[in-house]
Structure 1
Amino acid sequence: MCFLMDPRIGRKVCYVQFPQRFDGIDRNDRYANRNTVFFDINMKGLDGIQGPVYVGTGCVFRRQALYGYNPPKGPKRPKMVSCDCCPCFGSRRKKQKFFKNDGDLPVEEGIYEDKEMLMSQLNFDKRFGQSGAFVTSTSMEYCGVPPSSSPGTLLKEAIHVISCGYEDKTEWGKELGWIYGSITEDILTGFKMHCRGWRSVYCMPKRPAFKGTAPVNLSDRLNQVLRWALGSVEIFFSRHSPVWYGYKNGRLKWLERFAYINTTVYPFTSIPLLAYCTLPAVCLLTGKFIMPSISTMASLFFIALFISIFTTGILELRWSGVSIEEWWRNEQFWVIGGVSSHLFAVVQGLLKVLAGIDTNFTVTSKASDDEDFGELYAFKWTTLLIPPTTILIVNIIGVVAGISDAINNGYQSWGPLFGKLFFSFWVIVHLYPFLKGLMGRQNRTPTVVVIWSVLLASIFSLLWVRIDPFVVKAKGPDVKQCGINC
């Protein structure tokens, strides 16, 4: 309420977003359910631009913003008036409201000019529905009820408004209220408000204002991430995509637009991430190195880039108070979710856009009351488990093949081998929480996952041996000449 009633910026605040805090999470937070990097770093950074995105819960709204109104303009400068004889003042006096301040100077009162203009141009029935009392309340600054309304009339109007068909043929779900058409309607709803010029505020009290439960099981966690990523892909291909929507009025700041673009394009990073997680094994199997030879200037450029990224990460951790362990858990699950849930979200999103094949929506099961976190070790079959398992098997096979090749070729090949092993171990270490969740309490991987993963790894290895793009193939005349010389 302090943010919404602030005399300087309060009237332009559309909602106050709180971080999500969770109960029932295992001590080590194996699957990064707390999302501390997002809530304690990213959202705090957005608070300094135009405000954090709406994340679906733990949020308090201003009803004018939900009703599709534009934010009020800033207060104008006080105007000096001497008397009523001035024709200019006389013509404007009928249109403006004034009050006396301590200096007895009439000052123009801040009113919703944009709201009045919008109300005069659009049909109320088409916009808000056919309820006179409700439409009247939307035009009131504090969204109260008309003073002349009787309790019986209000009850009748309330029953009418909450009926299932009230929003038919209106702008509810399109321009007003929560926006439909996406699994992640929260991101879309906040984006529409920011496009109108509203700003939001991020509030982080020491005592959590809102608490909830998070999925503990690996499969449920991956399905939750899949739902989020699929919603982002849907927004990216919709007319509300932040890449091209909202340029007309120019009220969405550029940095805020970049932030919203990031919330819609991040699932597509699964494609290069999948390549980066596979290349180390390819290099170990083929004897080639993952990094090509580059010039000195290019090397200095990449070194400077990595140092800047490393420095930025340290400053963010120091500024936000996020621990190294929490940051590392977030990095690990970013890789796990990237090569599984994000990849499937991109495929399903493309199928929905190109072929019209819709996906089923499933509610994520949350943590149980088991003190020993029994759900943490439960296994639930899902196809999301296949890609990370395949990557693990391929990299483990690559490590074994690389070490075996180095032993056969002597000690001179051990130097280049360490560089190749580093990247492969990097992938395996990031997928280690996934491996623990896959084995469960009994440290036993389900047979169906092993069969599918070994099959895909074998197909990939055979195709790579058949193609072998690193080997330069000789042309016809050279082969014949070689045969004659031999």
Structure 2
Amino acid sequence: MYSNDPKTPRRVLCYFSDPKVQSQVGYIQFPQRFHGINKNDIYSCEFKRLFVINATGMNGLQGPNYVGTGCFFNRRAFFGGPSTFVSPELPELSPFNFVDKPIQSSEVQNLAHQVAGCNFENRSQWGFKVGVRYGSLVEDFFTGYRLQSEGWKSIFCNPERAAFYGNAPISLVDVLNQNKRWVVGVLEVSFSKYCPLTFGSRFMGPLMGLAYAHCSFWPILSIPIAVYAFLPQLALLNGLTIFPKVSEPWFVLYLFLFLGAYGQDLLDFIVGGGTFQKWWNDQRMWLIRSLSCCLLGSIEYVMKCLGISAYGFDVTSKVIDEEQSKRYEQGIFEFGVHSPLFVPLIMAAITNFTAFIMMIMVILRGESDFEELLIQFLITTFAVVNCLPVYEAMIFRSNEKGIPKKTTLLSTFLAFALFVIAFV
């Protein structure tokens, strides 16, 4: 990230100098914005919902969560709540300490080397009661959450001119790897003693607790989305009906829930400054993330809890080459490498396409009551339309940064095995 507006510190000082709120404000959060994102944001890297829409709503309560950058902190917030103070091990680190020596002085330099050392926080309160909080791969989310639980408030500042700009990944595998790290991190918070539904609601109130729970439990959406990606389609292939007929009253409920949910989501996105095409890509990436990084990240977290495996911190690659940048500007999905993250997604694409073709054949032959299978057919069609970039990468670009043949063959084999199991 880099500064884009020299007036930003002045805005921050206006908040921190306001006598009405200065004793309660822990940090001022600006939304993350990115340069170089293509016209329709095919990977939904703006994260408009996370950085703008949700933050605006939380600003009406106790303030937005900390999102890792574009933030100014009150140093006092790192040393306990507004009414409590945790003294650091070194008095020189206290927020009330006045430094009257130049930064080049030996005393300041020696202290800086000591604090920057790898062992400084050992046997200290740093990371638990003082400073940035440890215990999660998403230390930004966890730190802001803990600060607000201690009683600090935050302020969302979203000026028309971006305060900061940064880079975003422009290949799908980098986007999904970054999100998988977030998935593991928020699950570490969700299933700890700091669970927002209990700990958060207790110290911040039920509304803020639910707001943080909405952020921390979002990976579990992979379960219902995986069910909708496979179950109706497999039932369709078996000629089974699992939804109401068009003539039944329950059909209206299903239609209302689908149109209502997507309609509200579209309205929020447009009001937040988005476009219809960006919204379409955003909801498509929501489905893609749910079937890839959310699903595998949740499995990885469970395996870590069971002691079967461990996970590390993968730095998101944002290195750009000319050809990759050109494809990104053209709105072409960049797969390029074999990754387990793509396997569930391709399996879902194959399953839905097979069910779609079979349903077309059933309709043309008049072999079944179309009214009975309409909802399943609509779900399958919706999934096929969302998977168009996947089909294009599988068929036409297997050797040009599309989906590698190895990944396609593995996914096809697993999808076929799923068909066999479903038909048994």
- For the superposition of Structure 1 and Structure 2, which TM-score range results when normalised by the shorter chain? 0.7 to 0.9
Q: Give the structure 1 partner of residue 377 of structure 2.
A: 421
User: Shift in Å at residue 228 of structure 1?
Assistant: 0.9
Q: How does 1:227-306 map to 2 (within 5 A)?
A: 227-246=181-200, 250-292=202-244, 305=257
Q: 1:156 to 1:387 in 2, by over 3 A?
A: closer
Q: Is the 8 A contact 2:349 2:390 kept in 1?
A: no
| Structure 2: runs of 5+ lacking an equivalent | 1-12, 329-333
Q: 1:349 to 1:445 in 2, by over 3 A?
A: closer
Q: How does 1:40-439 map to 2 (within 5 A)?
A: 40-67=52-79, 69-71=80-82, 114-115=83-84, 118=85, 124=87, 128-129=88-89, 131-134=90-93, 137-138=94-95, 140=96, 144-145=98-99, 153-246=107-200, 250-292=202-244, 305=257, 309=261, 312-313=264-265, 315-355=267-307, 357-368=309-320, 370=322, 373-374=325-326, 376=328, 377=334, 379-409=336-366, 413-416=369-372, 418-436=374-392
Match of 1:450 among 396, 403, 408: 408
User: Shift in Å at residue 304 of structure 1?
Assistant: 5.7
Q: Is the 8 A contact 1:242 1:257 kept in 2?
A: yes
Q: 1:2 to 1:435 in 2, by over 3 A?
A: farther
Q: Is the 8 A contact 2:245 2:371 kept in 1?
A: no
Match of 1:30 among 38, 42, 54: 42
Q: TM-score, normalised by structure 1?
A: 0.75
Instruction: Describe the SS at the equivalent of 1:321.
Output: coil
User: Shift in Å at residue 20 of structure 1?
Assistant: 1.1
Q: Distance in 1 between matches of 2:42 and 2:271?
A: 24
Larger-gyration structure (1/2)? 1
- Count of residue pairs the alignment pairs up: 404
Instruction: Describe the SS at the equivalent of 1:313.
Output: helix
Instruction: Describe the SS at the equivalent of 1:243.
Output: helix
Q: 1:22 to 1:182 in 2, by over 3 A?
A: same
Q: Distance in 2 between matches of 1:17 and 1:158?
A: 27
Q: Distance in 1 between matches of 2:324 and 2:114?
A: 49
The yes-or-no answer on 1:13 pairing with 2:25 is yes
Q: Is the 8 A contact 1:24 1:367 kept in 2?
A: no
User: Shift in Å at residue 356 of structure 1?
Assistant: 5.3
Q: 1:132 to 1:33 in 2, by over 3 A?
A: closer
Q: TM-score, normalised by structure 2?
A: 0.86
Q: Distance in 2 between matches of 1:204 and 1:41?
A: 11
Q: Distance in 1 between matches of 2:92 and 2:159?
A: 37
Q: Distance in 2 between matches of 1:171 and 1:375?
A: 48
Q: Is the 8 A contact 2:337 2:401 kept in 1?
A: no
| Structure 1: runs of 5+ lacking an equivalent | 72-113, 467-486
* Residue type of the alignment partner of 2:117: S
User: Shift in Å at residue 173 of structure 1?
Assistant: 0.9
User: Shift in Å at residue 153 of structure 1?
Assistant: 4.1
Q: Is the 8 A contact 1:4 1:13 kept in 2?
A: yes
* Residue type of the alignment partner of 2:91: G
Q: 1:333 to 1:318 in 2, by over 3 A?
A: closer
Instruction: Describe the SS at the equivalent of 1:11.
Output: coil
- CA RMSD, 1 decimal: 2.9
* Residue type of the alignment partner of 1:52: P
Instruction: Describe the SS at the equivalent of 1:279.
Output: helix
Q: Give the structure 2 partner of residue 104 of structure 1.
A: none
Q: Is the 8 A contact 1:36 1:326 kept in 2?
A: no
Instruction: Describe the SS at the equivalent of 1:213.
Output: coil
Q: Is the 8 A contact 2:43 2:172 kept in 1?
A: yes
Q: Distance in 2 between matches of 1:25 and 1:201?
A: 27
